[in-house]
Chains A and B, each alone.
Chain A
Amino acid sequence: ETGVTQTPRHLVMGMTNKKSLKCEQHLGHNAMYWYKQSAKKPLELMFVYSLEERVENNSVPSRFSPECPNSSHLFLHLHTLQPEDSALYLCASSQDGTGSHEQFFGPGTRLTVL
């Protein structure tokens, strides 16, 4: 678990706030992912970055904006969120984005939007 870290672990924000989630991987991987996990729903893939380029964004609302400045860091910038965006946001990394390699997950950020 310490291979992928996420901060903050918990975040409460109003709908007009702007905040950012941070993810860092110490595994030397080339692909990083953002997932949303809501209660009683499967994990939803939001964004994939492979070699710092966004590969797929899965039609995520524009109020979620990812940033990958290098292969070790991934951010998710949040603005004007809705209460239904409250969920656990998980970051993961893998050796590459081909799906052949295991994804290592961080502990997640529990987000509550008031």
Chain B
Amino acid sequence: KNQVEQSPQSLIILEGKNCTLQCNYTVSPFSNLRWYKQDTGRGPVSLTIMTFSENTKSNGRYTATLDADTKQSSLHITASQLSDSASYICVVSWRGVYSGGGADGLTFGKGTHLIIQP
């Protein structure tokens, strides 16, 4: 069964500190992995996308890593800001299982709720 597990469920850190969010998955056949940021009351916004051959990808203060062997990913946030308070969702895409192969499957994690305190 395709699953995406994220940890921790919630996290509170002080402004300016670094943090790392974890994502473990059991998805096959793997296509890509994305991290999304979802602010309260808004739709998710993509931060990074990584394919099987990519180990790390950065987007400003966000750095995602992928270990395809252990099926683990992490999202590291450097020098956190108050605006980083949000839910961070890990999404794993798996190849063409829908009828006619017209679309890939997506398995979503429950997200990590991050709160940055001043």
Residues of A within 8 A of B (CB): 1, 4, 31, 40-45, 48, 50, 53, 55-56, 90-92, 97-100, 102-108, 110
A42 near B4: Cβ-Cβ < 8 Å: yes
B43 near A105: Cβ-Cβ < 8 Å: yes
Q: Which among A31, A53, A90, A99 is the interface contact of B43 at CB below 8 angstroms?
A: A90
A41: B residues at CB distance < 8 A: 110
B44: A residues at CB distance < 8 A: 43, 90, 105
Q: Which among A1, A99, A105 is the interface contact of B105 at CB below 8 angstroms?
A: A99
Q: Which among A1, A56, A90, A110 is the interface contact of B99 at CB below 8 angstroms?
A: A56
Distance of A45 Cα from B93 Cα, bound (Å): 12
B98 to chain A, nearest CB (A): 4
Judge if B32 is at the interface, Cβ distance under 8 Å. yes
Chain B 79-109, CB-CB to A under 8 Å as 1, else 0, gives 0000000000101011110111011111111
A97 near B103: Cβ-Cβ < 8 Å: yes
B37 to chain A, nearest CB (A): 11
A1 near B43: Cβ-Cβ < 8 Å: yes
B108 near A43: Cβ-Cβ < 8 Å: yes
Distance of A56 Cα from B99 Cα, bound (Å): 7
Distance of A47 Cα from B83 Cα, bound (Å): 32
Distance of A48 Cα from B103 Cα, bound (Å): 8
- Nearest B residue to A43, CB-CB: B108
Q: Which among B31, B41, B45, B109 is the interface contact of A99 at CB below 8 angstroms?
A: B31
B110 to chain A, nearest CB (A): 5
What are 24 A-B residue pairs whose CB atoms fall within 8 Å in the complex?
Answer: A4-B43, A42-B4, A42-B107, A42-B110, A42-B111, A43-B89, A44-B108, A45-B106, A48-B102, A48-B103, A90-B43, A91-B43, A97-B103, A98-B96, A99-B32, A99-B94, A99-B95, A100-B93, A102-B34, A102-B46, A105-B45, A106-B43, A107-B43, A110-B41
